[in-house]
Amino acid sequence: MNAVVELPPREVAGLTAAEVHRYSAAEIRERVNLVQEVMRAVMKEGVHYGKIPGTPKPTLYKAGAEVLCVAFRIAPSYRVEDLGEQGIARCRVACVGTHQTTGIVLGEGVGECSSAEEKYKWRKAICAEEFDLAPETMRRLKFAKGDRGVYKVIQIRTEAADHANTVLKMASKRAHVAMTLTVTGASDMFAQDIEDLPEELRPHEQYEQPGDDAGQVKTPSGPPPCSDDLFAVESLKWQKVVEGGKKTAEEMLATVSTRATFTEAQKKTILSWTKKPADSITDNKE
């Protein structure tokens, strides 16, 4: 499909005012058909839309919203409201869709974003030293869930100013997608913003895989892997236990292996620890 498809103009002769301002079932069907035709002929999965596991319909991305706006000749414009406060970048954006030919406002959508959102507020620490030097209120251990179960990640707070532009763009994107879905009536085919949700908040069963027996949920096969950053932090405590004589290196490895899976290099490090010899006391006789 190379040409832009437009719906034929509506005949208004002989219609009442109420009839002029409403679409017939056939006209609504034409709009739906156009969205489906654009989706089949132009859009690519993973570029213009994507399927989030466990969700009933694909999520419309910004690139897909732009394609639909071209097809329906919708020109987006934005109104930005700055809601930022001390230490937080936040804005609300309204995207207005206007028909390029007639100038008629077709509808609008609203989107909001803040640097206080989980994925902008925290970042993974570069190293254990950075984590240790950060103030208590600016660091945390984040629990996450992966293919092998629950694991921990060391994180520190980000600077709100570093995300100001990202927050503005994300709010604009959310507003643009919302406007496109509203104006084109494509909400029955696409969802919005599900890809922005953290994995643990997405509406699907953890570990459930296609082909599993009905009602069965996979159980993680073993403890989660221990990242190098987390090992650098936790190993300091384990080493003190071994050096204090409370456990041998082998006993410590056996204990912590019930909570995490270690690489061969990490195991060698643990096994290299030994009990510190008692301080010798020498009596100096004069």
For the domain that residue 188 is a member of, what is the CATH number? Answer: 3.30.390
232 and 194 in a common domain: no
Tokens of 198: 């953290």
Question: Structural domain tally of the chain?
Answer: 2
Q: What mean pLDDT comes out for the span 228-252?
A: 86
Range of the domain at 255: 228-271
pLDDT at 260: 81
Show Cβ contacts of residue 6 under 8 Å, excluding neighbours closer than 6 positions. Answer: 73
Question: Average pLDDT of the chain?
Answer: 79
Residue 71 lies in a domain: yes
- 103-119 per-position pLDDT tens digit: 999 999 999 999 999 88
Asked if residue 97 and residue 59 are part of one domain, the reply reads: yes
Reading phi first (left if > 0) and then psi (alpha if -120 to 50, else beta), residue 215 is in left
Are the beta carbons of 118 and 163 closer than 8 angstroms?
no
Is the domain of 182 the same as that of 233?
A: no
Confidence bin at 99 (pLDDT 50/70/90) = very high
State pLDDT tens for residues 243-258: 888 889 888 888 888 8
pLDDT class of 209 with cuts at 50, 70, 90: very low
Assign 205 a pLDDT band (cuts: 50, 70, 90).
very low
Report if residue 217 sits inside a domain. no
- Are 42 and 183 contained in the same domain? yes
Q: How far apart are CA 124 and CA 147, in angstroms?
A: 19
Q: What is the mean pLDDT of residues 189-214?
A: 49
Is residue 121, in this structure, part of any structural domain at all? no
Predicted TM-score (pTM) of this structure: 0.61
